[in-house]
Every structure is written in structure tokens, then in C-alpha cells.
Amino acid sequence: MRDDTYQGEVVDSPTERNAKGIRCDACPVLCLVKPNDFGACDRYTNIGGKLTRVDPLVITQRPGAKLVKFLEQEWDGSVLPDSPVFVTGVGATTTYPDYKPAPFIVSSEVEGVDMVTVVTEGIFSYCGVKLKIDTDRYLGPEQAAVRVEGEQIGHVTTAEYGSQMLSIGGVHHLTGGGKKQGRITCDSLLKLCNKEAVELVIDGGASVVVQAGTAPIVNGVAEARMRVGCGSATIGIFAPQWIGHADEVIVVDDHITGVLSEHQAGRFLELRPSGIKIRGKRSTPGRYFQVAEPGLGWGGTKLTDPLSIIEKIDPRTAWPGLRLLMVSTTGEHSAWFVLDRNLAPQPEETPAAIKAVVERIAENCEPALCTVLFMAGAGGSLRAGVTENPVRLTQSVKAALTRVTCGGAPVYIWPGGGITLMVDVTRMPDSSFGYVPTPAIVAPIEFTLRKKDYLELGGFADRIVPVAQALQGTAYVNRPWRAENPWPLVPPAE
């Protein structure tokens, strides 16, 4: 990603324009693109005096559909019923600020219904990513700054079950700080959305390498698994399998540490009280908060010695020979102890039956992954590329008459005002995202609806063309449809 913008002199006459370059109006930077050179975003070039999109348009075909004839040879102008071709916004180019219609407004017939898809690449300053990082390890305190190259690009937000959550980007980091902060924020967003790895450093916490669809790397160590549940939940799941093999089980967890004999599951199974008391705040029987400081050790705590959370062992209740298992919520850490004549825990070899349950804890943990959700507000002038009356598009989306996709991938539309969308980047075509040095992220977006509904919301009727005609003279690539995505060219229910 470049740190500069080519600010060529303003050219007025066609002669000067041909001699010095072409003024690109795809974004407010208005680069003057010289012959065989590129604009600042690397998305447009000047070939033979014509402004040309560097990357081809991406189209895709319905699963199981036969190759469409016009993809093999020159289109003959005939109507293609139940069109299996979907034109994505990847490589579509932009019309920002959308004082003119979207680059592609294509029609097709699906199940006997005339459909329209409005295709463009949106320029988003109001955008960011939500990161879900599957790990129990401590990444940093809530609200702590998340940095790249020393610049804050986001913050830590509330943890979820078995995952740490980060919020990256947003208009204030993109445009509200210095030039370097905006550039680094934009660059980080671009890499994350295009499924590349980014190293994030959290104030008062860890360094974590994040890449969509892969395991997080925390302080240089790759995470393997996501916890099966909190300490209490782990006891609830596996309690019957410990009965007869252990007299006490303590499942260490930064959030809720569980103690089997006190827990409702242990009482239900009539387990004898052990007399082992642990540190922390007791919530309900067998469930403890804050047994240790958060960290990179056992169960997301700082613990390297699990016995350090034992506050006391009551001699009136405990007995020599008591068998104690201490285990983490992922099964990554475990230790087996037996109380000696002085009721001091002594480490011993873990019995096979106990090993089997610890291995089952690990088996029930899902692989730890990083999830990158692109989030943006599709408002402002972007809607003007769809209709002359933008609020009608918003209303149509909220009424489920218009289906919104990003590169063909399904999006979640947030309730409330505007078109605030969220999409899993792993379900989008590779290299779907670009940028402009304003700075802002460029992302594909498509609006699909019945033709009659499109005309009713004030769409650009004179710009609608059949999909085959739209692709004539356009450089495109045909990529396989992703099986996990629903096919977007389906008429909405009446």
C-alpha cells in the first residue's frame, strides 16, 4: 500500500489530457494516471489512452449449472432463462461519488421472474473489522489500544465464550488522527479483509498474529484449540466419567473455575466432600471467579503451578490417599496428585482412565481460529448509484425485497437506521478488497431484487442490460461458486 498520492497538475484540454495522462474520478483523490502507469490505489492504469481496471471483473456460476453458452462464444442476444451467472462487485469499478449509476445494472430471468442486480465497488470510510480470536489466553484488558507499528488502529472489546474480541478500524482511526495512523489503519484493514496475516500489539497485553480462517499466534505460540466450556461447564459435561477414578477435580479457568465435589454435578452424583478449598470469589457451590490473574498459563490465567490456588485443605474432611486431578478447560494442562499422610498433594503418574477423560476434553475442543468480519455502513452516495431516491433502497433492504451481498457472500444487516452490514471475509472471493488513499477501504457490494421492485424504488431503468450484454467487451474471470453460500439470484417471497 502506497504512502503517497500522485498529485499531477490539473489538465483542462483534451490535448493535454492525452499527452499527460487521464484524470481518474473513481475516488476524490483524482489521480492523473500517465500512460502505462497506475493510480495511487493500484487499481487503475492508463492503457493506450484509456483508463482501465487492473483486476478483471469476477463472475460466478450457480452450483451444478452447465457452462453458459455466452461464456464460450459471442453472445447472440437471446434471453437466458434461469440465468446461472451472478456478477459480483469484485473488479466492477466504482462510480464514487455516485452522481452516476452503478457500473453494472444487469438483468436476468430466474424461475420466470425478471431480476436485477446492481453491482459496484463501494468506497467505505465508515468501516472496520470485528475480530473473533478463539483463545483462553489473555490478550489484554478491555478498552486497551490495539496497535500496528505503534499506531492505534482499534481496541479490545468484551470477551465472549472461549474467544477474545477486538474491534479494528472505524472512521476515527482512518480519518480522525494523523496521516500515518490513517495509512496504517487502512493497510491493516486491507490485509485482514484479504485474508492476510497482521501482527497486532495490545497495550498491557500480548502480541497476536491474526489471519482469517487460521489459528491465532499469541506471543509467538500458535493456539491449537478453543476451550470446551468454562470450568463449571467442563465439570457438568465430564463429571460422570470421573466418578470412581478421582475424588476431586478442579478445572482451572480465568472466568469460572469449577470444583467437582462442591459443584451441583458432584452433589447429584453423591461425591464425598474433599475438604480442598481454593482461592477466589465463590459464586455458587463449586463455581469460583478470579482464582488468579489472567495470563497465558492454565485456563487463561497466569498459573504455572496449579496448586497455588489451593487456599487450604481441611483435615477434618480430607484424607490421605485422596486423588486430585487439576486440569484446564482445553485439556492442554493437567496434573495428577495424591494426598500424603500430612494431606500434602504429591504428584504422581496420571492413571489411564483419567488420561482418557483429559484427552476427551481436548477432543471436544474445536480448532482455534481467527474470524474476520468486515463491517461497513452502505449509505451516503453509494445508494445514489442504485436509485435517484436513496431512502427507497434502504427501505427495500429492510423489507427484505432487496438482497445484499458482498462478492456474492451473504451479509448480516443490522437493525435500525441505514444499511449497516457485516460479512465473513472467508466466504468472499480472494482479493475482494482494495483501497483508496483518502484513506478508505473499497469493497464489492451487490443489490439483487425483482425488476418491478427496482423500477418502483426509482432505479435507473435505461441502464438495465442483460447479463450477457453487460459482459461483452468486459474483462472477467469465472470463479467457482462457494458451496457454503446461498445462491443470491433467488426471487424473494411474495
Question: What pLDDT was estimated at residue 12?
Answer: 34
Write out the E strands in 149-226: 151-156, 163-169, 198-202, 207-210, 217-218, 221-222
Helix, strand or coil, per DSSP, at residue 365: coil
Calculate the average pLDDT of the chain: 90
Helix (H) or strand (E) holding 257: strand 257-259
Read off the pLDDT of residues 306-348 as tens digits, 9 standing for 90 and up: 999 999 999 999 999 999 999 999 999 999 999 999 999 999 9
Question: What pLDDT was estimated at residue 170?
Answer: 95
Contacts of 405 (CB under 8 A, 6+ apart): 88, 411, 445, 446, 448, 488
Question: What pLDDT was estimated at residue 3?
Answer: 36
DSSP character for 485?
A: S
Q: Decide: 48 and 57 in contact? Cβ < 8 Å.
A: no
Cα first-last separation, the chain:
46
Residue 162 CA to residue 465 CA, distance in Å, equals: 49
Helix, strand or coil, per DSSP, at residue 432: coil
Question: What pLDDT was estimated at residue 71?
Answer: 67
Question: What pLDDT was estimated at residue 53?
Answer: 78
- pTM to 2 decimals? 0.87
What DSSP string runs through 87-116? E-STT----TTTTS--SEEEEEEETTEEEE
Helix (H) or strand (E) holding 145: strand 145-148
Residue 389 CA to residue 458 CA, distance in Å, equals: 6
Instruction: Enumerate residue ranges in the chain where pLDDT < 70.
Output: 1-19, 67-83, 97-98
Q: Decide: 129 and 457 in contact? Cβ < 8 Å.
A: no
Question: What pLDDT was estimated at residue 183?
Answer: 95
Contacts of 128 (CB under 8 A, 6+ apart): 154, 167, 168, 169, 170, 173, 189, 375, 376
